[in-house]
Amino acid sequence: MAATVLATVKRLLRRLRRVVRRHVLVDVALIAVAVWLTSGVLFALVEGVSLFDGLYWALVTMTTVGYGDITPRTLYGKMIAMLTIISGIAVYTATISLAAGSIVEAAERRRQGYIRYRGVRHVVVVGWTPASEAAIRELRSRGYTGDIVLVTEKPTAVLREAELEGVTLVRGDPTRRDTLLRANVPRANMVIVSTNDDATTVLVVLAVRGLNERARIVAEALHPENVELMHKAGADIVVPTRDLGGRMLATSLIEPGAAMFVENISRAEARPIELHEIPAAPYAGKRYIEVLLEMRKKGLTPVAIRRHGVLISNPSDDMVIEPDDILVVVVPGSAGGGGAGEIGATGQQASVATGSRTGLAGAAGSAGTA
């Protein structure tokens, strides 16, 4: 038993020595304590006061408070007082300088991404690309107020190219497990992966899914042949951005109306229309055609139903709405007014009700802070 206690004490002393070696501020604090004790004891001996009064005088003198209730009477006492004042000022100045330097260094490390994020139920964006930048701005424009953690190897480019408020940077290789752990991926609610390289994206998706089985993962595929591979790696949704862009260009020539519709819901600002999700529970038991006619009176148009993770586009008129269904609805956008504001709260409720892998508001509800 005694040997175990002794070994534990030795380990604690070794850790304490390592901490003292690493932190200059600890050294300064130890010097301050040594000066205080030495001055207090010497003053008590020279001036003939109690040890408590000597330590009290030393502390008051070192902090340059100087109440004047205890003063040196002898020559040696005055010499001790002068040395104590000089030592106190030096220690105080060093402490303030080191503390200020530590604060500035910590702020710079945070700005450069050398941190460990501690929040939970947040959104992690892996990679700095035009797509990921647009995704972050879209999250904010849609009212997401939770924490967003951006994992990138080039935070300097982020700071130079964009001013993103409320985004925590984590610097490092996104394919490495320790980098994802510093972004607290195991506690994240949703993850967006966009790396400008499909092979890297697949590796990141695999790593993220290995750390978090519940998170909703959305990945960008630059080549359509890699979509299925990303799904197998663990992505819930894969967006083939270049393929979609090419098809939009062709559609704009052949069917411009359809392309204009997609353009309207994809604008960064002043959208004439928007797509939102709302819970279908209030309409449970009704036929789709009945819900369509009822919602049209409010200026809303349901165009699809999400049921158990499967999207049912253009439902049949006789399809019966189930309590757990989610309605995908076209609403007037920021340029059209009205419906978007009305639907915002219910859309967030739908996201919370359907879990972390189905919506954005579930993360906003209890996002942590860094």
pLDDT in tens, 194-216: 999 999 999 999 999 999 999 99
Left if phi > 0, otherwise alpha if psi is -120 to 50, otherwise beta: which for 270?
left
Q: Name the more confident of 359 and 42.
A: 42
Weakest-pLDDT range from 1-10, 28-37, 123-132, 200-209: 1-10
Bridge partner list, 320: 287
pLDDT-derived band at 111, boundaries 50, 70, 90: low
Q: Which of 52, 81, 77 is nearest to 66 (CA)?
A: 81
CA pair distance 52, 315, nearest whole angstrom = 85
H/E/C letters for each residue in the chain? CHHHHHHHHHHHHHHHHHHHHHCHHHHHHHHHHHHHHHHHHHHHHHHCCCHHHHHHHHHHHHCCCCCCCCCCCCHHHHHHHHHHHHHHHHHHHHHHHHHHHHHHHHHHHHHHCCCCCCCCCCEEEECCCHHHHHHHHHHHHCCCCCCEEEEECCHHHHHHHCCCCCEEEEECCCCCHHHHHHCCHHHCCEEEECCCCHHHHHHHHHHHHHHCCCCEEEEEECCHHHHHHHHHHCCCEEEEHHHHHHHHHHHHHHCHHHHHHHHHHHCCCCCCEEEEEEECHHHCCCEHHHHHHHHHCCCCEEEEEEECCEEEECCCCCCECCCCCEEEEEEECCCCCCHHHHHHHHHHHHHHHCCCCCCCHHHHHCCCCC
Residue 190 structure tokens: 């949703």
Neighbouring residues of 217: CB distance < 8 A, sequence distance ≥ 6: 190, 191, 193, 205, 208, 209, 234, 235, 236, 237
Q: Quote the CA–CA distance of 369 and 120 in Å, as a whole number.
A: 8
| Residue 228 pLDDT > 60 | yes
Band of residue 350 on the pLDDT scale cut at 50, 70, 90: very low
Tokens encoding 236:
């819930």
Structural domains of the chain sorted by starting position, each given as residue range(s) with its CATH number in brackets: 2-112 (1.10.287.70), 123-243 (3.40.50.720), 270-362 (3.30.70.1450)
Closest CA to 273 of 259, 281, 263: 263
The residues facing 171 across adjacent strands are 152
Q: What is the pTM of this model?
A: 0.64
Integer Cα distance of 172 and 150 in angstroms: 10
Question: Rounded CA gap, 19 and 115, in Å?
Answer: 19
pLDDT, residue 233, reads 95
pLDDT band of 346, cuts 50, 70, 90: very low
Contacts of 202 (CB under 8 A, 6+ apart): 226, 229, 230, 233
Would the pLDDT of 338 be above 50?
Answer: no
Of 193, 190, 189, nearest to 152 by C-alpha is 193
Q: d(Cα 210, Cα 354) in Å, to the nearest integer?
A: 22
For position 269, what pLDDT does the model report? 67
Question: Confidence band (pLDDT; 50, 70, 90) for 27?
Answer: confident
Say which residue, 317 or 20, is predicted with more confidence.
317
Q: 353 falls in which pLDDT band (50, 70, 90)? A: very low
